[in-house]
A and B are shown apart, each in its own frame.
Chain A
Amino acid sequence: MRGRHLRLSFGVLKAALAAALAATKDAQPISVGGGRFSTSAARSAPPPVSAPHPSFSSFRFSRSGVSLCKRLPVLLLVCALAMSGFGCKTPGSSEEPPSDNKGPFKIGAVLSLTGTYAPLGESAKKAIDLEVGRINAQGGVNGREIQVLIEDDGTDEAKSLAAASRLIDREEVLAIIGASGTGQSMSMRSELNRAGVAQISLAGGTVITDDFDSLVFQTPWSNTLVVPYILDAMVARNVSKVALLSDSGGYGKDGRAVILQEAPKLGLEIVSDQTFNPGDTDMSTQLTKVRSSDADAILLWNAGKEAAIIVRNATDLGLNLPMFGGSGQARLEFIEGAGEAGNGFVFATGRSLVPDNWEKGSAQHEAVSKFAEEYKAKYGEPPDIFAGHAFDAMAIVVAALERTEGMPTPAELRDAIEQTSGIPGFGGTFTFSANDHNGLGKKDVALYVVRDGKWETAE
């Protein structure tokens, strides 16, 4: 009785799995999937509990047989074989003749849509969606549609690797945009190298292009570019003694190293070097120490929301020093969070933050202001720099695709990307070379000051 019941439940399970299998195999005739499945299930199905006689031995057997230890493997086996059913189907995609008759260009994107870097990934996704829609509405690239397959990595490195693997093997993408974070960008390298697929990272870590890889490109401005710019501005404002506040995350640590190296060259002395952890919510302790130093300006280097807290804490402590920062503060949320206290905050970042910084009528101005307008029309807010980095990645890939003929291989596309020259983007004018995969210069950076809840260009 018991045995029959169990067998029955197996039958139900089998049927359910088979149905699910069949349902997912939309193109495949059901009988194939179902047939394969039932044979495999038949092989594994004889339940150990179906001993015909209730002898002592069979009783014992059945008792042990029902313990999870035994039942589970059967189920797992069933599942495994079920999956093998999928597996047999999937390579089919590679068996198909490479259809060159105007299929879409497939590009992958790995973004952090959930987890810590969700704000970055979210903006990037908006920009990509916008660009894909625009390009395809205008007839695509070289007469083909462009298709960007977006994967969420959950700000997790194993997931970004898996996502890259999925995009490369299952979707056979030509190149990958992303990831949003430095760690997630780095972790997919082994997979990129194996398949020879190029990556255009949206993360700002200097390590991404410093640890050079011929397949890896990067759109954000590196710290080595922005730091000297803001330090120059500080010198121009008669600052000589600097209190540095940086976070212990990748961006802050990276920036701190560059600052400590560059500041002495310009005659700036770091009199107080304070750090904090990403996610800290009160920096009044660090600022109290800054107050005890004889600093005449504060330089802030971090990527997260702590910046607004610092600016507020400083004002509340009566610390009325001029404050400077970098790309991490080029966010509306920072200005809103800092409120009154943020007035007069000076930061350096890409020139395109205010499109009118570019000469009217120039290719730069046209590209950036058009993007900003369309973005604002669609999402009701101006693009932030993370949207900008994704826009640039799209522009670079599209321009590279335009230079190829027919359906390029990933290697051909990589070569085309490396030949990127004078592409106007949000980050500036991109010109890659065999040993420069960031391709931005000082002319692409500008200085901004926060005034009355907005940023405006400063000298």
Chain B
Amino acid sequence: MADMGGKPRLPWVSWLIAAAVACIPLVITDRFLIKVLTFVGLNVLVAIGLALLFGYTGQVSMGHAAFVGIGAYTCAFLTVRIGTPWIVGFAAAGVIAAAGGLLLALPSLRLKGHYLAMATLGFGEIMSLIFVEAESVTGGVDGFARIPPPSVAGFEFKEPATLYWLVWAVAGVALLLAYNITRFRPGRAMLSLHGGEIGAVASGVDVVGTKIKAFVISAALAGLSGALYSGVVGFVSPSVFVLSSSVMYLAMAVIGGAGSLAGPVAATALFTLLEYLNALIPSMPAPIAENLGLYQTDIYGIAIILVVIFAPRGLTGLWQRRRSASSAKGGSLAERRQGSSTQADTPARPEGLEEGEGT
């Protein structure tokens, strides 16, 4: 986020980190760790979309796991039952999830705050019922088994390392895309919605179009994540795409902080790894590992609370707080927003959370 108006120029550190992420499978041979890091990539892909939808546009979605499910089943159905090349299934997963996003965008045009949350939650619940009941497509509760690994032009992504690269390449492209969106007009239009629609309208922002765009993009990214998930795990069942997953995705977006991509991505990486604590510490004595496994979810829940308490403006805020003190003026749009809201002593109450039009 260097100069606001200039060309999209990624900070050099970003390239460095990209290189580091790309190199991980070269230095790590532990397949388990690679697999966990691949799961991180899958969640990061969803987080990027939610960062745009929630962090920038201020729209709350409590049904995003449904899009991941739509993507997973679409890709699995097309490649296994219809026999299309994987890449077609992958693309279709994105397109169909995007269509679902368009559908979900409709209530957002009318509903706000908790009512939108309820509507998206309802969408998610209905979709998870469909995943169970549409047996001919989804395989029902028994799940969709024997999904082959992704393959492009005859190359099979079978090894954990190649899957890792595939997932992170998609995540990287998505991040680049999102980065470009956020730096230009669409991004600023989105961010303007986060503060309040009236102001956005007054500034000539196409509110309807911006909301729809955010929903469609985030749904498509979630769909792509689902398509990759089906290839990575090889088995898809409805128990994965449930409310608790949606809630966790949203939690990551909030913990990451509004108006930033890196925050939610970092939060997602952090909390996904937290679920696999025993992955990160090798050669842990068995009894400790076992107990850690038992209390892993407890740690996860408490960590969420602690992060919110000690990083009140999200992980992004953690960094920006120091900064805003020294550079009072300037800063990115997000920084300025956050800064001003601090001064006013009323927290930046995302419009997504205000009471609906109560009259």
Contacts and interface: CB of A to CB of B under 8 A. Distances in A.
Contact of B30 (A27, A158, A161, A169): A169
Given A77-B16, A90-B282, A205-B142, 7 more contacts: A48-B12, A61-B2, A68-B260, A90-B28, A149-B289, A158-B233, A170-B32
Interface stretch (B89-97, B213-221, B317-325): B317-325
Given A77-B20, A91-B29, A186 B35 contact: no
Interface of A: 2, 24-27, 44, 48, 60-61, 63-74, 76-77, 80-81, 83-84, 86-91, 93, 113-114, 147, 149-152, 154-159, 161-162, 165-166, 169-170, 182-183, 186-187, 189-190, 194, 205, 207, 211, 248-250, 253-254
A157 B297 contact: no
A68 B266 contact: yes
29 contacts: A48-B13, A60-B2, A61-B2, A64-B11, A65-B11, A67-B319, A68-B320, A70-B11, A72-B266, A74-B17, A76-B266, A77-B13, A77-B16, A77-B17, A80-B23, A81-B20, A86-B282, A87-B28, A152-B296, A157-B237, A157-B239, A158-B233, A159-B276, A162-B32, A182-B142, A186-B235, A187-B234, A189-B145, A190-B234
Interface string B104-130: 000000000000000000000000000
Interface stretch (B191-199, B329-337, B349-357): B329-337
Given A64-B2, A157-B237, A162-B39, A69 B326 contact: no
A73 B143 CA distance: 38
Contacts, number: 219
B21 interface: yes
Interface of B: 1-3, 11-14, 16-18, 20-21, 23-24, 27-33, 35-36, 39, 132-133, 140-143, 145-146, 149, 158, 160, 229, 233-235, 237, 239-240, 257, 260-263, 265-266, 269, 275-276, 278-284, 286, 289-290, 293-294, 296-297, 315-316, 318-320, 322-323, 326-327, 330-332, 335
B16 A186 contact: no
Nearest to A2: B326
Contacts of B2: 60-61, 64
Contacts of A73: 11, 13-14, 16-18, 20, 262
Contacts of B27: 81, 84, 87-88
A69 B282 contact: no
The A contact surface, by secondary structure, is: helix
A248 B141 contact: yes
Contact of B33 (A25, A86, A161): A86
Given A24-B283, A159-B275, A67 B1 contact: yes
Given A68-B315, A150-B290, A152-B293, A80 B21 contact: yes
Contacts of A152: 293-294, 296
Contact of B319 (A68, A86, A165, A190): A68
B35 A63 contact: no
A113 B280 contact: no
A381 B318 CA distance: 51
B237 A67 contact: no
Could you say which of B21, B233, B265, B332 has the most chain A C-beta atoms within 10 Å of its C-beta? B233
Given A113-B294, A155-B239, A157-B240, A69 B145 contact: no
